[in-house]
C-alpha cells in the first residue's frame, strides 16, 4: 500500500473482503486518486452506498460514510446534500442496486439534477447474492437464475441516465483506471447530477459461469470492447457491434441545478415567516 | 541520459493471487510462487508505467523510482 491508501482508507479494515481479482478494489483505488487530485478535505466528502459487494466500499474509505439499504442510496444522498449543501456527495451503487431495485430513484435523481456524483459499478450480475442476473446482464449469458441463458435485453445505464436528464454522464471501466480517475474528477467538478458508469468484472459470479478463465481475461475483454467515444463517432456502426463507448458521453449546463431551485423555495418560506 | 530505475515490491501478506499484475505488466516483471502469489522476478526491466499499481485490486504493489544510473 502507498501513501494515498494510508491517507484515504481505513487501514484497520484492510484487507478488503472482495474476491481475488474483483474490479471493486481497482475502482476504489481510482476513486481515492480522484479525491486526492480534487484536493477535497476528507471531512467535506460524504460517501453513500447501497447494498451489494460494491456497497462495501463505504466501509473501507475514511470519509463521512453511510452504508444504506438496497436501492436507496440516492434517496439518502439526496437528503444529505439538501441538509448539508457544502458536502461533496458521492453515491456508490451496483447495477442491481442502481437499475433494478433502485431504478426509480436513479431516474428521478437524474431528473432533479441535484449536485452529486453517482458511481455505478456495472459488473452485469448480482455479485453479493451469488450470481442472479441483473438488468444489465447481456442476453444469452448464464446466471444462477438463468441456467440456460438470459432472455431479457440489457439496459444501457449511461444512455438511460442521459434520457432521464442527468447533466454529466460518462462511462469508464476498471481496466482503464487512469481514465476512470479523470472521469470521476470531471463528474465531481460538474455542478449537477453526474453519473459515471463503470464497466467492471465479477470473476466469481459472472466470469466463472460465462467462460472467463481469470480476472485478467475479464479485464482484457474490457480493454478490447471499450472504444473511446470520440473514436466511435468515426467508426462504421457494424464495427461497434458488441462494443461499448467509454469517456465523457454527455454534458449539459443548461438545466438548472436543484439546490439553486430549492433555494428559492427556502427564501420564499423564510420571507413568509418574517411577514 | 540516465536510465530510470524502479523498486517494485509486492506485499505478499495481502496478495490474493489473482494474476492481474502477471498478465498486464508489459515488461513481464512478475512471476508467481507456489501459492500463485505474485513475485517480483525481474525488477530491472520495470519502466515505471505503474500499470500493476493501478490494476492490483488489493493495493499490494508499490513502484518507487530509486536512482538515476549514470550509464545505460
Ligand atoms: C430490499 C432488499 N432486497 C434484496 C436484498 C438482497 N440483495 C443483497 S445485494 C443484492 C444485489 C447485489 O447486486 P448488485 O447491486 O449488482 O451489486 P454487486 O453485489 O454486484 O456489487 C440483493 C438482491 C437486500 N439486501 N435488500
Ligand atoms: S462476488 Fe463478485 S462482485 Fe462480489 S466481491 Fe466477489 S468478485 Fe467481487
Ligand atoms: S494484482 Fe495484486 S493481488 Fe493480484 S496477483 Fe498481483 S499483487 Fe497479488
Q: Report chain B's C-alpha Rg in angstroms.
A: 12
> What CATH number corresponds to the domain at position A145?
3.40.50.970
SS3 at position B46: coil
- pTM reported for the whole predicted model: 0.97
Distance to chain A for B60, nearest Cα, Å: 6
Tens digit of pLDDT per residue, chain A (275 long)? 999 999 999 999 999 999 999 999 999 999 999 999 999 999 999 999 999 999 999 999 999 999 999 999 999 999 999 999 999 999 999 999 999 999 999 999 999 999 999 999 999 999 999 999 999 999 999 999 999 999 999 999 999 999 999 999 999 999 999 999 999 999 999 999 999 999 999 999 999 999 999 999 999 999 999 999 999 999 999 999 999 999 999 999 999 999 999 999 999 999 999 88
Predicted ipTM of the assembly: 0.94
Residue B67 inside a domain? The answer is no
Subunit contact B20:A175, Cβ cutoff 8 A = no
Residue B19 inside a domain? The answer is yes
Domain that holds residue A118: 3-274
Residue B24 inside a domain? The answer is yes
A128 lines ligand 1 (CB under 6 A): yes
Task: Please give the distance, rounded to the nearest whole angstrom, from the Cα atom of residue A24 to the centre of ligand 1.
Answer: 15
CA-nearest residue, atom 4 of ligand 3: B18
Please state, as a whole number, how many other Cβ atoms lie within 10 Å of the Cβ of residue A31: 24
CA-nearest residue, atom 1 of ligand 1: A70
Cis peptide before A15 (omega within 30 of 0): yes
A195-225: pLDDT as tens digits: 999 999 999 999 999 999 999 999 999 999 9
Tens digit of pLDDT per residue, chain B (72 long)? 567 999 999 999 999 999 999 999 999 999 999 999 999 999 999 999 999 999 999 999 999 999 765 554
A105-121: pLDDT as tens digits: 999 999 999 999 999 99
> What CATH number corresponds to the domain at position B30?
3.30.70.20
Task: Please give the distance, rounded to the nearest whole angstrom, from the Cα atom of residue B47 to the centre of ligand 3.
Answer: 18
Residue B21 inside a domain? The answer is yes
What is the pLDDT, as a whole number, of residue B72? Answer: 47
Residue B52 inside a domain? The answer is yes
Helical pair A23-38 and A177-189, crossing angle rounded to 10 deg:
50
Residue B28 inside a domain? The answer is yes
A56 lines ligand 1 (CB under 6 A): no
- The closest CB to that of B58, out of A15, A175, A219, belongs to A15
Residue with cell 480517475: A181
The domain total for chain A is 1
Subunit contact B20:A21, Cβ cutoff 8 A = yes
* Residue A81 CB partners (closer than 8 Å, separation 6+): A46, A87, A89, A114, A115, A116, A259
Residue B71 inside a domain? The answer is no
The Cα A88–Cα A264 span in angstroms is 21
Domain that holds residue B28: 5-62
- The closest CB to that of A15, out of B14, B19, B20, belongs to B14
Residue B56 inside a domain? The answer is yes
Q: Where are the beta strands (DSSP E) in chain A?
A: 45-49, 64-67, 88-94, 116-122, 168-173, 193-199, 226-228, 244-251
The Cα A214–Cα B23 span in angstroms is 10
Helix (H) or strand (E) segment spanning residue B64:
strand B61-68
- Residue A23: its chain B contacts at CB < 8 A? 57
Q: Counting one residue from A and one from B, how many pairs have CB atoms under 8 Å apart? A: 65
CA-nearest residue, atom 8 of ligand 3: B15
Residues 145 through 174 of chain A touching chain B, CB cutoff 8 Å:
174
The domain total for chain B is 1
Amino acid at each position: 500500500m502507498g501513501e494515498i491508501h494510508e491517507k484515504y482508507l481505513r487501514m484497520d479494515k484492510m484487507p478488503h473482503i472482495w474476491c481475488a481479482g474483483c474490479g471493486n478494489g481497482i475502482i476504489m483505488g481510482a476513486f481515492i486518486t480522484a479525491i486526492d487530485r480534487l484536493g477535497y478535505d476528507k471531512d467535506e466528502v460524504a460517501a453513500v452506498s447501497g447494498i451489494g459487494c460494491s456497497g462495501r466500499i463505504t466501509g473501507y474509505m475514511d470519509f463521512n460514510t453511510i452504508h444504506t439499504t438496497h436501492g436507496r442510496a440516492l434517496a439518502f444522498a439526496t437528503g444529505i446534500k439538501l441538509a448539508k449543501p457544502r458536502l461533496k456527495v458521492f453515491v456508490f451503487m451496483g447495477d442491481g442496486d442502481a437499475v433494478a431495485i433502485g431504478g426509480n430513484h436513479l431516474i428521478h435523481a437524474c431528473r432533479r439534477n441535484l449536485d452529486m456524483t453517482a458511481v455505478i459499478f456495472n459488473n452485469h450480475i448480482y455479485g453479493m447474492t451469488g450470481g442472479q442476473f441483473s438488468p444489465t446482464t447481456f442476453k444469452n449469458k448464464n446466471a444462477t437464475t438463468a441456467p440456460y441463458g438470459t432472455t431479457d435485453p440489457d439496459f444501457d445505464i449511461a444512455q438511460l441516465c442521459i434520457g432521464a436528464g442527468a447533466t454529466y454522464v460518462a462511462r469508464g471501466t476498471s481496466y482503464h483506471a487512469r481514465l476512470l480517475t479523470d472521469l470521476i474528477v470531471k463528474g465531481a467538478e460538474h455542478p449537477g447530477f453526474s453519473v459515471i458508469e463503470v464497466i467492471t468484472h465479477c470473476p466469481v459470479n459472472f466470469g466463472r459461469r460465462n467462460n472467463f478463465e481469470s480476472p485478467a481475461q475479464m479485464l482484457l475483454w474490457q480493454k478490447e470492447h471499450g472504444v473511446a467515444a470520440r473514436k466511435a463517432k468515426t467508426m462504421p456502426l457494424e464495427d461497434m457491434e458488441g462494443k461499448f463507448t467509454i469517456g465523457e458521453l454527455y454534458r449539459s449546463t443548461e438545466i438548472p441545478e436543484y439546490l439553486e431551485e430549492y433555494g428559492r423555495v427556502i427564501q420564499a418560506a423564510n420571507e413568509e415567516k418574517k411577514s | 541520459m540516465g536510465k530510470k530505475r524502479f523498486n517494485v515490491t509486492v506485499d505478499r501478506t495481502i496478495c490474493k493471487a489473482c494474476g492481474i499484475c502477471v498478465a498486464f505488466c508489459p515488461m513481464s516483471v512478475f512471476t508467481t510462487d507456489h501459492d500463485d502469489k505474485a513475485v517480483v522476478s525481474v525488477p530491472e526491466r520495470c519502466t515505471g508505467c505503474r500499470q500493476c499499481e493501478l490494476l492490483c485490486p488489493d493495493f499490494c504493489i508499490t513502484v518507487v523510482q530509486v536512482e538515476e544510473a549514470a550509464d545505460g
